[in-house]
Amino acid sequence: MSNSPATPATNHITDIAVIGAGPVGLFTVFQCGMLKMSCHVVDALDEIGGQLSALYPEKPIYDIPGLPSVLAADLVGRLEAQAAPFAPTFHLGQQVTVLTQKEDGRWLLETSKGTRIDAGAVIIAAGVGAFGPNRPPLENIQDFEAQGPGAGVHYLVKRRDDFAGRRVVIAGGGDSAVDWALSLADIAESIAIVHRRPKFRAAPDSAAKLERLAADGVIDLVIPFQLAALEGDSGKLETVVVADLDGNQRRLEADVLLPFFGLSQNIGPIVDWGLDLDHNHIAVAPETMGAGRPGVFAVGDIISYPGKLKLILTGFSEAALAAHSARHHLHPGEALHFEYSTTQGVPGST
């Protein structure tokens, strides 16, 4: 990582504490840097990038302006490089557990590793909070969850090539299930996709491609069925048993099961910080990204407001608004001479 890692269990002072090092958190660092505000960034994961790094680094993203297609990991790399001139300090592998407002109006953050950060303002870009896969309720599924590319059950695809030449069964009906079925179809020995209803909850173009590949015999659409059991020997997956609503069963030969049933989400200690909450989201004022306490702002998938769209590009816009609001909070009454980046440039640019 090109930016500064921090030593745990130490005290730090900064203009802005950013909670979350996903794509929106990284762009928040850039926006704050352009406004001459320093940042310390805290994330519970051991690497930057949030879900893009943890869940689908090799998945292409198509809705980033100016980039017709970009791999998730490559987008993280570009955002890291964009933030690098402003020398953010990253505190990775730790969670902010306590957020306290000091008598002088600044904020004190304390993490699970004992790190203490004194910040003038806080921008929460925590995505969906702590997340993990929703596991199918199969009695012996843990027997096939061994770590490494040879495992029988995977909840994400980090390296597409790990599935080359393997018999893959995908369970689910959303974008992840359909997208990975399409992506792996040309390298896997076989692909079967199990869904409990004929209609898929995926982008129409992707669903149409899936139907075409099924018609050509490239992908086996196992519908309407759902997972019933896993069979194998010594932790090596051999068969995925599926059943329809009438109890009729099919046995699918398989080396790998990829169940895509979404994520379990938990915003954790955030519920105790006195913010405006809307179920598992932070309710913000859309004109400022204010989260209900002075000097605390929130952006990205963790927030809600009327008309909110859960898109990375929306989070980028929210990051810019939050950064400007944070600057106004730190320097009330001080006029900002706004300059476009083409005029202002960035440190080290030519």
Cα torsion for 226, 227, 228, 229, to the nearest 10°? 170
Q: In this predicted structure, what is the pLDDT of residue 286? A: 97
- Residue 85 is predicted with a pLDDT of 97
Judged against a pLDDT cut of 80, whether residue 176 lies above it is answered with yes
Tens of pLDDT, residues 209-268: 999 999 999 999 999 999 999 999 888 999 999 999 999 999 999 999 999 998 777 788
Q: What is the pLDDT of residue 1?
A: 42
More confident residue, 349 or 145: 145
Domains and CATH numbers, the chain: 4-131+264-344 (3.50.50.60), 135-261 (3.50.50.60)
Long-range contact set of residues 180-186: C-beta below 8 Å, sequence gap at least 24:
180/59, 180/258, 180/260, 181/210, 181/213, 181/219, 182/206, 182/209, 182/210, 182/213, 183/59, 183/157, 184/157, 184/160, 185/213, 185/218, 185/219
pLDDT for residue 53 is more than 50 = yes
Place of tokens 């059950």: 153
Summarize the confidence of residues 140-167 as an average pLDDT: 86
pTM, full prediction: 0.74
- Of the candidates 92, 132, 127, 90, which has an alpha carbon nearest to the alpha carbon of residue 112? 92
Looking at residue 25, its pLDDT comes to 97
Question: The tokens of 185 are what?
Answer: 């179809």
Residue 350 clears pLDDT 60, i.e. is over it: no
In this prediction, residue 193 has a pLDDT band, given cuts at 50, 70 and 90, of: very high
* Phi and psi angles of residue 286, each rounded to the nearest 5 degrees, phi first: -65, -20
